[in-house]
Amino acid sequence: MSKKFAYSDEEGKFLVKLARKSLTSYLKDGTTVSVPSDAPESLKKKSGVFVTLNIYSDKKENLDLRGCIGRPYPRQSLLTATIDSAIDSGINDYRFPNVRLKDLDNIVFEVTALTPPVEITAKTPEDRLNNIEIGIDGLILERNNAPPGYGGLFLPQVPVEWHWNKEEYLTHLCGKARMSSDMWRKVDQTNLYKFQGEIFHIAISARDLHRIGGHLHGCIRCHKFGHGAVFRDKLPILSIQVSGGLIGQKAGSLRTGHHIRQHELNGLKR
């Protein structure tokens, strides 16, 4: 396969299983799991990460967001950040009630490992547009006179799921950052950063992991796997089959946004 990934299939499987184990352990007895002694060396490096919890029901076609919290900056090892983000996604996402132990049977775990954010230097709004690639770049927007880290963030998969073009992507990002919709055009008043991610998914008791090549760029592709399938891509697959039930079929159905833990990110928040 010509496409190169930062992490192998086995490393991706390790991260998603670790996320599920971390939240399960915490919900059972309030304990935080330790970094596994058999963890691959590459996962011990500092990296940003987001853990997303999506819930499905046999009565519904589409996945519903159940929690999403992460750390976009590489200040912890990828393993530690995954453990902490998994727990936070389950109990500290203020948009949802806390996940219960019995809920885990219907929750699909997603781990997005991130590259460090890099500022997009631009003199004009057009420069910013020209330096963004839909389906590749996640974005962070901050005011340049605000305390460090306060702003809005979207993971790379969000504009694909919602079929946004570049201007729509930036406009919605302004809303996420609680700014007026045209603030992204004011290059002298805001800072824009981009990052990339590799996304891994799991659907209960995973045994096999499949790598799917290519980028979606706004289209819906249907890849069907058996119960317990794990899959990965530079972007998420928007349709999977679990125990005969089709979930996640409609783009935009997976989530409405991603939440960020303030104390880990110098105040960066939704």
Residues 39, 41: Cα–Cα separation, whole Å: 6
38 shares its domain with 80: yes
Is 227 within the bounds of a domain? no
Residue ending a domain, choose from 165, 195, 225: 195
Residue ending a domain, choose from 195, 228, 250: 195
Burial class (CB in 10 A: 0-12, 13-18, 19+), 227: middle
Strand-strand pairing, 118-119 and 151-154: unpaired
Is 166 within the bounds of a domain? yes
Six-digit token string for 149:
């880290």
Residue ending a domain, choose from 195, 223, 240: 195
Q: pLDDT by residue for the chain (270 residues), tens digit each? A: 345 788 888 899 999 999 999 999 999 999 999 999 999 999 999 999 999 999 876 666 667 889 999 998 899 999 999 999 999 999 999 989 999 999 998 899 999 999 989 999 999 999 999 999 999 999 999 998 877 667 899 989 889 989 999 999 999 999 999 999 999 999 999 999 999 999 898 654 434 443 333 333 322 222 222 223 333 333 332 222 222 222 222 222 233 344 433 333 322 322
Is 246 within the bounds of a domain? no
Contact 141, 152 (CB under 8 A): yes
Residues 29, 43: Cα–Cα separation, whole Å: 26
125 shares its domain with 48: no
83 shares its domain with 179: no
104 shares its domain with 207: yes
Number of domains the chain contains: 2
Residues 47, 74: Cα–Cα separation, whole Å: 4
Sequence-separated (6 or more) residues with CB below 8 Å from residue 205: 227, 228
User: Can you give the residue range of the structural domain that contains 170?
Assistant: 118-195
